[in-house]
Structure 1
């Protein structure tokens, strides 16, 4: 039961908690100034921290309620889950105010200016994220992805994440995330499918690194992946998720990797693509690739002179010349291309002339093949012969090995054709006739 106030105003004591002095709030007495026997000037602070003063008479004081500690103490009867939710919201709010770059200060990295701008100016403000990070090789895209992941985790905004990378890079991803960011991701393997015993393997593991081809080529894995949602999905070497228009049919030919990218785009809240080579020179294919991020903006076949590929808000690309240190100095040495001339020995000159004549002759054949309709085969032959010239410029040993391998392939092809010809012209006595 609350205590009963005294009938004398001078009985008011500093530190008492009064209900009624401030409307709908509990006030704490801070100081008392005696004006008259029946009149006091009371200074107080309320629950919100606001302070003030008020003249109090005997009649007013008798209507107030002096509270004991038991009356003021909370009852602790609120819902525990709601309390945890409220406390987490406050923690996230004030943590960001105290340290807006908490991921940097809690990771073993020294990020560069362009990496900080990418994470805190390009990626984090976009919710949900649909973005292509296409900086030049060596810009540290893995560090940017790690900072982005950790920042979201510190803000309790990433409870499930998947990283898709080529098979040769998955171990590197796991090591860097663990050593530099203390993020424990599991490397997906078939043994996980066996351990799941019929359950969805992707639902069992919240933080995964998967091989791009392993998942894209497996129908059962794609079916399971489609039933799981992710807070973040990151694709490294994303240019491998390609698609193109068929010239003769006018239809889109989608690779299995492209279908995997489209699936992740649907099931991930935040979707980040990373590649240093986003554009292969064909605007139609680039538009199909960008449709993984925004299918509405890049709907339909690109037509020259009619369409314009607008990647604003979806893509950032910085070349090495734009990357600077904190002191404003270039991060990479300036590149200069120039020709170094040197004299060939008679033997080297003879080899160079013979390879060049061979290339010119075979390149002519490649052009004729393309003109005859087999454009793909003509391009492949032309590319192979261009490589031979590059190998020649590398060293005599390099061109020798290339020519030997080419001869072995041609000899093998010749033997296959000879065996096929002999098989077709051999009498089939068991059937009582000849197969010609």
Structure 2
């Protein structure tokens, strides 16, 4: 058996022999075709079968030489070069992952990857702002380590609602098929694994619900077979805290981190909740000693060491320091208000009077009952001001909800809005029920009267808040926006969605998503929306964290103001984020001018949060989050004396709880200002990242190369692709039936079905773009898109098969003014073995254009860039008969000589052209080795043992001869 990187013949086909993790297996990848056709064979079985079936033997082979009779021009050969390099997956570049992903990451998104490649093991804490693209940053690291052979398996631990989204991102952007592990999928997955095996050891890429695997029943098996790399999404939910669920998550991740050699990446946009101990518990997951470090008292050495593992950047950092063009949409903040109707004002005044009294009269109760009564009063007032439906759901359903817990902690999800634990969107009946138990019968009758009064306010005729929201929604749609209306309670969301659907034009789609739906139902409800029609989403905060909604929605209306500024940013971050195709998004704070609850929340929280954001460029979490917020709002509303009926409740800034909250908040702002300066990774320069990206583009092709290849190939296939006159950077691919019928099957099968929708039948075009993020309504077509892969594979295979109709051909000859003497250009595909210490070798490839001018006893060699430039720009200056072209090519091929596998010694030593090629490739291998070492410079062991070894001979893909225009044979 030959060495990895060699060419072999098996089953009447040529294959590249790949490194295998086991000596008992042989891994083969076809020289033409897709990676899906890669085979892993059992060595002994193949040897046994090969005795009787010659086609089943694996035998050494050589790449077929070009045929001088199958000749065209330089442009055809250049197209072959494009097809060959766009077919590469294991690119011989420092960033191996770019050969297999389907997106074009921005420069700033490579910073965590550079950090990771300088760590051993990789322990990263990525705390970039909401919407920056932390998912892409983490998966770039995972894909890179996987493609380098440094990990064999990895998993993502995330909240259950985000499992489908992670699976989709892995498949669509990183070409990785992941299984989802949670309660509803385990049985099906277990049926797919061998007897005695577990799902955790059987699937290379897994997306796991952290709430499923944290339990005592599941965690031990997961930890026993935990993969090499673990990514923890929404990591703030795994900080050490008092809540039982969060504590279980922290214990799980702590056990994951306990293995010293395991790679670990933590992701969160809100790393610091204002509780120093919780934040340090997250740092301790990265390295145990970090848990004992105080960020306000770090030494220079500690700060430098922490900066190797921790990155935290605002959008302002990115836009000002990393990107020449904007990466994010323009956010248009706006305040819109309404006034309470007379009926609603009466409901508020009677509700406020009731709540004020029960808070005041509860002063004689024990501390626990006093707190619960305050919570009940605050929750009731908030429900009433959310919507009549929420008020009725809370007041009329008392006794219908079975809730027998007497633990204070069990009331918390109904009262507080925290980012570590998901707040429920159900009506806060439990704290109100606990409150009512301590009230006399007369007060209970008052609650029933309030329910009747609220029921009479249903509909936009009586509910000015709802009426104004419908107007805003209509205006947004008229301006071309697709809004999300965020509500606090399920009852409010369903009530608003019903009225919006009733009042808006028939063509507008309205979807309602709440926490009562399962994750799959939520995804299905959103997926049902037609991207070609106006649409509105009414949702509760079950969707406000981690979910990507930017492809369908472009505006946010806070129908109910959140009582946590972090939640405000999370909601807006669903649309205002990396990948938003629209150039601008609208975000609207919607509140009542005479709604006292809104007034208190604005004064206590949201106005200050906005000021901080304008100053710092990011939101800073409220200190200790909802408990301090709730106490401040409670004192603002109830504990500073009775407000007169009809008067606006404004905040008295002398309230002690509010002053203390703001003091601690200001302190945290100062801390964040310092931290974001220290950990924005400004030591890494954009030009440093750009240098490595340009080296990768030279091997694999950048987006402009993909565009040029697709457009030129489509033109030769008579497939019309024209610029969209309405949208910049968008092209329209014709899907007309007569056009499709004329295409080769391999190309036609990768185009969308023009009969799949009425809209496409009426307008049979496929909108595409070659830039990322992609303009709205277009599909991104990058080097790994199925259409590009089909074009490249079709051209390459046709050229190798010497088809008479081949668009690209392996030989070319022209007379041109681009050269002053005869120049021969060789298209070479070179394979290298990339070796690391303690890691399986991996195969790397690149396609090179090398040129030479034969001066008899001396060869003058052109470098890759000069040869490629000639290949791309040389144009015929005179006709050359076919017979003359064939004669020139036969002479050139004879001069190059026959390429034989190495039989001892060094390939090409006894041949001037082959020797020059070998020397050039050796130098290229040395340069590639240095490039790989450069990005791994902080990992001394791996740098010392890293080596790129070229495999000879290279594949001779094509030969082009350029003759001076006035030369005669």
TM-score by length of 2: 0.29
Q: Which residue of 2 aligns with 1:209?
A: 207
Secondary structure in structure 2 of the residue aligned to 1:210: strand
2:90 equivalent to 1:102? no
Cα displacement (A) at 1:351: 3.6
Q: How does 1:277-288 map to 2 (within 5 A)?
A: 277-288=270-281
2:147 equivalent to 1:147? no
Cα displacement (A) at 1:193: 3.9
**C-alpha distance in structure 1 between counterparts of 2:364 and 2:282, whole Å:** 30
**C-alpha distance in structure 1 between counterparts of 2:361 and 2:330, whole Å:** 42
Q: Which residue of 2 aligns with 1:327?
A: 324
C-alpha contact (below 8 Å) 1:323/1:332 kept by paired residues: no
2:399 equivalent to 1:403? no
Q: 1:382 to 1:347 in 2, by over 3 A?
A: closer
Q: How does 1:8-407 map to 2 (within 5 A)?
A: 98-119=92-113, 121-188=114-181, 189-191=185-187, 192-193=189-190, 195-219=193-217, 221-244=218-241, 255-267=247-259, 269-299=262-292, 312-324=307-319, 326-329=323-326, 331-334=328-331, 336=333, 340=336, 342-361=338-357, 368=363, 372-373=367-368, 377=372, 380-381=375-376, 384-385=379-380, 387-388=382-383, 392=385, 398-407=386-395
**C-alpha distance in structure 2 between counterparts of 1:334 and 1:274, whole Å:** 24
**C-alpha distance in structure 1 between counterparts of 2:236 and 2:391, whole Å:** 32
Give the stretch that moved more between structures: 317-326 or 233-242: 317-326
**C-alpha distance in structure 1 between counterparts of 2:135 and 2:263, whole Å:** 16
Deviations 1:334-391 (A, max 9, x none): 5657x5455444334334434444554556578x599825687468547635743xx7
Q: 1:128 to 1:363 in 2, by over 3 A?
A: farther
**C-alpha distance in structure 2 between counterparts of 1:196 and 1:369, whole Å:** 65
Secondary structure in structure 1 of the residue aligned to 2:231: strand
Cα displacement (A) at 1:271: 0.2
Q: 1:365 to 1:295 in 2, by over 3 A?
A: farther
Secondary structure in structure 2 of the residue aligned to 1:410: coil
**C-alpha distance in structure 2 between counterparts of 1:166 and 1:288, whole Å:** 19
C-alpha contact (below 8 Å) 1:244/1:253 kept by paired residues: no
Q: 1:217 to 1:351 in 2, by over 3 A?
A: same
Give the stretch that moved more between structures: 346-355 or 135-144: 346-355
C-alpha contact (below 8 Å) 1:242/1:285 kept by paired residues: yes
Give the stretch that moved more between structures: 266-275 or 173-182: 266-275
**C-alpha distance in structure 2 between counterparts of 1:288 and 1:376, whole Å:** 29
**C-alpha distance in structure 2 between counterparts of 1:387 and 1:197, whole Å:** 55
Structure with larger RCO (C-alpha < 8 A, sep 6+): 2
Q: 1:340 to 1:173 in 2, by over 3 A?
A: closer
C-alpha contact (below 8 Å) 1:362/1:385 kept by paired residues: no
Larger radius of gyration between Structure 1 and Structure 2: 1
Q: 1:351 to 1:407 in 2, by over 3 A?
A: closer
Q: 1:323 to 1:380 in 2, by over 3 A?
A: farther
Secondary structure in structure 1 of the residue aligned to 2:152: coil
Give the stretch that moved more between structures: 269-278 or 193-202: 193-202
Cα displacement (A) at 1:233: 0.6
How many corresponding residue pairs? 310
**C-alpha distance in structure 2 between counterparts of 1:253 and 1:183, whole Å:** 30
Deviations 1:248-270 (A, max 9, x none): xxxx9972211111121124621
CA RMSD in angstroms comes to 4.2
Deviations 1:233-288 (A, max 9, x none): 10112222132269xxxxx9972211111121124621001122222221122222
**C-alpha distance in structure 1 between counterparts of 2:226 and 2:297, whole Å:** 37
**C-alpha distance in structure 1 between counterparts of 2:403 and 2:93, whole Å:** 70
Cα displacement (A) at 1:215: 0.9
Q: 1:105 to 1:290 in 2, by over 3 A?
A: same
Q: Which runs of 5+ in 2 are unaligned?
A: 1-21, 27-88, 405-432, 438-969
**C-alpha distance in structure 2 between counterparts of 1:211 and 1:277, whole Å:** 20
**C-alpha distance in structure 2 between counterparts of 1:135 and 1:358, whole Å:** 45
Cα displacement (A) at 1:168: 1.6
C-alpha contact (below 8 Å) 1:163/1:209 kept by paired residues: yes
Q: Which residue of 2 aligns with 1:22?
A: none
C-alpha contact (below 8 Å) 1:103/1:147 kept by paired residues: yes
**C-alpha distance in structure 1 between counterparts of 2:285 and 2:328, whole Å:** 32
C-alpha contact (below 8 Å) 1:370/1:376 kept by paired residues: no
Secondary structure in structure 2 of the residue aligned to 1:297: helix
C-alpha contact (below 8 Å) 2:108/2:323 kept by paired residues: no
C-alpha contact (below 8 Å) 1:369/1:378 kept by paired residues: no
Secondary structure in structure 1 of the residue aligned to 2:221: helix
Give the stretch that moved more between structures: 168-177 or 197-206: 197-206
**C-alpha distance in structure 2 between counterparts of 1:176 and 1:269, whole Å:** 23
**C-alpha distance in structure 1 between counterparts of 2:126 and 2:381, whole Å:** 32
Give the stretch that moved more between structures: 403-412 or 125-134: 403-412
Cα displacement (A) at 1:102: 3.3
Cα displacement (A) at 1:108: 1.3
Q: 1:255 to 1:355 in 2, by over 3 A?
A: same
Cα displacement (A) at 1:179: 1.5
C-alpha contact (below 8 Å) 1:363/1:381 kept by paired residues: no
C-alpha contact (below 8 Å) 2:355/2:378 kept by paired residues: no
Q: 1:357 to 1:134 in 2, by over 3 A?
A: farther
C-alpha contact (below 8 Å) 1:163/1:235 kept by paired residues: yes
C-alpha contact (below 8 Å) 1:363/1:385 kept by paired residues: no
